[in-house]
Amino acid sequence: MPLSKNKQTILLILIAFTFSFAVRLIWVEQFSGVEQFKFNNQFMINTNDGYFYAEGARDILSGVSQDNDLSPIDSAPSLLTALIAKILPFSFETIIFYMPAFFASLIVIPIILIGRNIEKLEVGFIAALVGSIVWSYYNRTMVGYYDTDLLNIVFPTFLLWSLVLAEQTREDKYLLFTALDILAYRWWYPQSYSLEFAFFGLILVYMIYQYIKKKDISYTLQLITIMLLAMSQLDMIFRILLVFGYFIFFRQAKYHKYLYHMLSITFILFLISGGFSPIWAQLKGYVFKDAIQVSGEDLKLNFFSVMQTVREAGQIPFETFANRISGHTVTFVLSVIGYIWFTYKNRVMLLGLPMIGLGFLAYSGGLRFTIYAVPVLALGIAFLIVELSNVLKNNFLKYTLMSALTVAVLIPNIKHVIDYKVPTVLTKDEVLVLDKLKNIASREDYVVGWWDFGYPIRYYADVKTLSDGGKHSGSVNFPTSFALTNPQLEAAKMLRLDVEYTEATFKMIKEDENLSKDEKRTIRTNIASMTLDYGFHDTNKFLSALKTDIKLPNKTRDIYVYLPNRMMSIYPTITLFSNLDLMTAKKGKQPFFYTSANFKEYKEFIDLGNGVKLEKQTGQLQVGNNKVAIKNFAKTFYDKSGVLQKQIQTLNPSANISVIFMSNYNQFLVVDDNVYNSLYFQLFVLENYNKNLFEPTILTPLAKVYKLKI
């Protein structure tokens, strides 16, 4: 007995969902025996930002969150996670690890439903198999990738389905589905505004086309009105109530003569509540990005923009672009052809253009956007496969070809899954350092590290940080960069200043909450406030004053410095943020910093790669065709007790270059005096700490923590 269409749909959804989830378990199988990827016998997550939402969920469950800790206890991912953790009998770590695989696999539902709607269920099924595991979608929704991406594409794909059904059926229920999806999407991901607006714009253009062709526009008018309402910046509860009110209103045909009035009122509410401002904020961040950002305060300072160092915001090669969207360049081209054909046969699929457009923005705007084009182009390749297979009249041959072509498209994507062996953010031994620190530092203390490690520090050590994945503008990063890359005296003073000024700013904002706009005080960047408070109008003079005996703010809390070995690889990037004249935006000379872990030793020299050789007899360094004198040659190693030992020879006191062999790391470092004397280098590499300024708290080969004494 043949299955009904509803049962077929449900069965195919279950098969596609199981396939999507099972493919994501490949990572689990690959690393099941790697204990360094586990903490408390549970796999850790593999995205830094995930620790932000994990912190929020943890604090919701514990009911503890202190002022100014920036814990996202009101964010959608944290609230959803906390709810699931309360309901399910699994550990918190297990839940956040597997949530991406489960929720991201829900994308198969709207994809299959779109296929069903065009009377080609097999198109939806094939598209669901492909779209659920394509490179970029898999990369950002694999197990452990606990972030907003676990639903970021599911919601707009449901929105696409709802809009397709709305325009095809003109049924009232899809007005409500569309509005509720927008509300849920905005709740989950506030940055969804751009894509929502693109969908809205397309429906608006279609309504204008209907009007010109003298067709009935009443339904489309209702659709754009309720979409505009859902997209507004009004309070969420108020919007939900209004959406249901509008829905009830629209169901009464006798009120349709007031549709233009409703649209006008809604447009006014839209403008009053915030209008178009969110879309500009997003474009400014990822599209119109500058290397230098100027602060808008009374002391005009220039800061290095963090967007210039974020890989996902940079231009990508076409092959990478194509692979991330479809798994292979050939598949990508065929997917585009398939989508064009699909749209020609079903004009309503033009509604997929906003997602394709945002996905194609990745070619110049950064690889993170490719994920948006995945479901629509998956429908494109699926449609092409089905239409080509339908040329064969014999059912056996038709479905054999259909299966073979589907497998051919899936193979490069599954191969990518197998090869994409992403490690966890931190290893077990690194986490043990932060877990130990949690029992030493209080929740009001600050642990200062580079922004990449901010969220994991806050999650595992349960402390405050100066910067993290969401708070890392050039002005925020400058003091931290300065502290990590300058000598200990200046660094120590900057650490104390930055923490105390950060807390003072929090206090000022809280005190000004009830003041009128005209009464509120100017919120300056920390470095600008420091400069002016110490009587300077030039930050260069203020920074030079840190070498003198200036009076520091009163100590209100302890400060710890977190120095991991993995910071070594990004040290040159860290220097960019403070190696800049804030008054003129002139960049300073980059410090010399070279590392080599793939060196080769010969009788007369050690080849460090890239034309850099260390001559054994002369004790000189050959860089290309130039001979460079070596100031210090140092060797570090850990003894049987795990204590760092160092042997340092001064070869030429007037030279500017030093060479260090970190034997336990099997790594050579070639650095100039600026790097050699920096806080990071002295405290992590050599453990040469100024006892008046710092004291060691935790010392391990992977990460070291020092407590500031001033």
The pLDDT > 70 percentage for the chain reads 95
User: What distance in Å separates the CA atoms of residue 651 and residue 272, rounded to the nearest whole number?
Assistant: 70
| Residue 46 and residue 152 in one domain | yes
User: What distance in Å separates the CA atoms of residue 23 and residue 13, rounded to the nearest whole number?
Assistant: 15
Domain assignment present for 661: yes
The pLDDT of residue 433: 98
| Residue 377 and residue 507 in one domain | no
Check whether 306 has a pLDDT greater than 90. Answer: no
User: What distance in Å separates the CA atoms of residue 552 and residue 108, rounded to the nearest whole number?
Assistant: 58
**Confidence label for 507 from pLDDT (cuts 50, 70 and 90):** very high
Residue 223 to residues 117, 443, 645: CA-CA distances in angstroms? 19, 49, 72
Handedness of CA 613, 619, 623, 624 (dihedral sign): negative
| 8 A C-beta contact, residue 217 and residue 176 | no
| 8 A C-beta contact, residue 380 and residue 342 | yes
Tens digit of each residue's pLDDT (9 = 90 or more) over 580-616: 999 999 999 999 999 999 899 998 899 999 999 999 8
Mean pLDDT of the chain: 93
In 248-368, DSSP assigns E strands to: 292-294, 302-304
User: Cα-flanking dihedrals φ and ψ of residue 632, to 5°?
Assistant: -125, 140
| Residue 253 and residue 398 in one domain | yes
| Residue 552 and residue 660 in one domain | no
Residue 144 to residues 53, 141, 424: CA-CA distances in angstroms? 13, 8, 8
Check whether 520 has a pLDDT greater than 90. Answer: no
Residue 87's domain comprises 5-288+302-419
| Residue 236 and residue 185 in one domain | yes
Domain assignment present for 580: no
| 8 A C-beta contact, residue 195 and residue 156 | yes
**Confidence label for 277 from pLDDT (cuts 50, 70 and 90):** low
CATH number of the domain bearing residue 507: 3.40.1380.40
The pLDDT > 90 percentage for the chain reads 84
Domain assignment present for 585: no
CA nearest neighbour of 484 among 682, 628, 256: 682
Tens digit of each residue's pLDDT (9 = 90 or more) over 435-468: 999 999 999 999 999 999 999 999 999 999 999 9
Dmax (CA) for the chain in angstroms is: 97
Specify the 3-state DSSP secondary structure of 496.
Answer: helix
Specify the 3-state DSSP secondary structure of 304.
Answer: strand
Q: Total domain count for the chain? A: 3
CA nearest neighbour of 405 among 486, 330, 336: 330
DSSP 8-state class, residue 588: P
Three-class SS string for 256-321?
HHHHHHHHHHHHHHHHHHCCCHHHHHHHHHHCCCCCEEECCCCCCCEEECHHHHCHHHCCCCHHHH
Identify the H or E element spanning 607.
Answer: strand 605-609
Please identify, among 419, 443, 475, the residue that sits at the C-terminal boundary of a domain: 419
pLDDT mean over 479-504: 97
| Residue 406 and residue 436 in one domain | no
Least confident of 199-203, 259-263, 406-410, 516-520: 516-520
**Confidence label for 313 from pLDDT (cuts 50, 70 and 90):** low
| 8 A C-beta contact, residue 578 and residue 478 | yes
| Residue 309 and residue 212 in one domain | yes
Please identify, among 419, 450, 482, the residue that sits at the C-terminal boundary of a domain: 419
The pLDDT of residue 189: 94
The pLDDT of residue 363: 81
Domain assignment present for 233: yes
Please identify, among 565, 582, 603, the residue that sits at the C-terminal boundary of a domain: 565
User: What distance in Å separates the CA atoms of residue 627 and residue 612, rounded to the nearest whole number?
Assistant: 10
Tens digit of each residue's pLDDT (9 = 90 or more) over 653-696: 999 999 999 999 999 999 999 999 999 999 999 999 999 999 99
Determine whether 701 is exposed, middle or buried from the number of CB atoms within 10 Å of its CB (0-12, 13-18, 19+): middle
pLDDT mean over 640-645: 94
Task: Tokens for 495, please give them.
Answer: 């650490």
